[in-house]
Amino acid sequence: MTGNRIEAFDSFYKDLFAKIYQYAFRLVGNSQDAEQLAQESFTRLYDFLANGSDVRNPKLLIYRIAHNVCLNFLKRQKTFDKLIGRPIAVPPSSNTNEKESFQKEYRATLVRQALRALPQRDQRCLLLYQDGFSYAEIAEAAGIKKTSIGKILARALERLSREIRQGEKT
Amino acid sequence: MSHPKKSALQAFLDYELSPRRQKQTEDHFAACASCREKLKNAKAVLESVGLDLKNLNPKRVPSPAPFVEPSRERVSRKKHPIGSLIFTPVRVPSGLLVFMGLMILIFAGLFYSERHQKGAGDVLLGKSEKSNFLTITSSEGTTEFMPLNIPWDRFTPAKDPIILVMKERP
């Protein structure tokens, strides 16, 4: 990479790091891992660009890379995932603030589990949708037809809502 | 206008329909109670799941650590012609790999069948124009033997299967 391109990449990295970190955090639920995975995603994009590959929309590509990196991480850490991803029990506590915080954490773990249970394509679409991307952008990032996005999102939202409700019952 | 499908309903909620279609769908909702009910449900799912997904976001986003160019070593290595020959990974198309694997299998099969036909130690009883003789095939080739203890013209391999003394056929 030439000096100008390195500078451009550095500014791109600074602009998007928070978004990618947030994206990773929603999937893995751990700040340290999310930070590492966000870094790894940028490293991969850098390698990709350094090899002379032409990228039309690096913003969408970084999201795509981040999702793959997170999925690989979760696959590698299956045992870890089982331990951390399981909804944590809410301990009886007299402290109201503590109880509320545990309940929030429990709910987040439940949602995260339900999200991970969705097919990869649905996860990707839903997270990009949540980040405010348009249907056209989601379609490009996920490699799907734009006309299918509405259907995929509607189904994914329903399924996620159903899974969360089931989780709540159990 | 016919009842909008799930995908159109979702796209309507996200303002992803064309302005004309958006207006048509809106008019349809105004006239159709069952579709209005569906829209209400879809909105409720979107709101509740949206909130759940929003709650997955981290409370704090770390500031990005300075980006270190990780692949600089790998990129600079390409400048050395010999080094690049040794270290640059060669990307072999998967189709070629499959083809090579198939070719190896075919050649191994042919080699095995040939070896099997000319298996070392195979004893075959043959006939020449003059008389009967015994052929022994080994990995080094085929040798023909004739009996010594039975008169040459009376030797029949089928009737005299055990030949005690043989000499190589001239």
Kindly state the tokens that stand for A79.
Answer: 């045992």
Is a pLDDT exceeding 90 seen at residue B156? no
Write b or e for each residue in A48-78: b if 16 or more Cβ atoms lie within 10 A of its Cβ, otherwise e. Answer: bbbeeeeeeebebbbbbbbbebbbebbeebe
pLDDT in tens, B85-103: 566 566 678 888 999 999 9
- Closest Cα of chain B to A92: distance in Å? 23
pLDDT in single tens digits along all 170 residues of chain A:
666 777 788 888 888 999 999 999 988 888 888 998 999 999 888 888 887 777 788 888 999 999 999 988 888 876 555 555 555 555 555 677 777 777 778 888 888 888 888 898 999 899 999 888 999 999 988 888 988 999 999 999 999 998 888 887 77
Is the Cα torsion angle A121, A125, A130, A132 positive or negative in sign?
positive
- Nearest-CA residue of chain A relative to B74? A47
- Give A138 to chain B, closest Cα distance, Å: 12
Structural domains of chain A, with CATH: 1-85 (1.10.1740), 91-170 (1.10.10.10)
Residue of B nearest to A31 (CA): B58
**Residue ranges per domain, chain B?**
6-54, 122-168
- Cβ B7–A150 below 8 Å, yes or no? yes
Distance (Å, rounded) from C-alpha A75 to C-alpha B39? 37
CB A29 within 8 A of CB A20: no
Total CB pairs under 8 A between chain A and B: 101
Q: Which chain B residues are closer than 8 Å to A12 by Cβ?
A: none
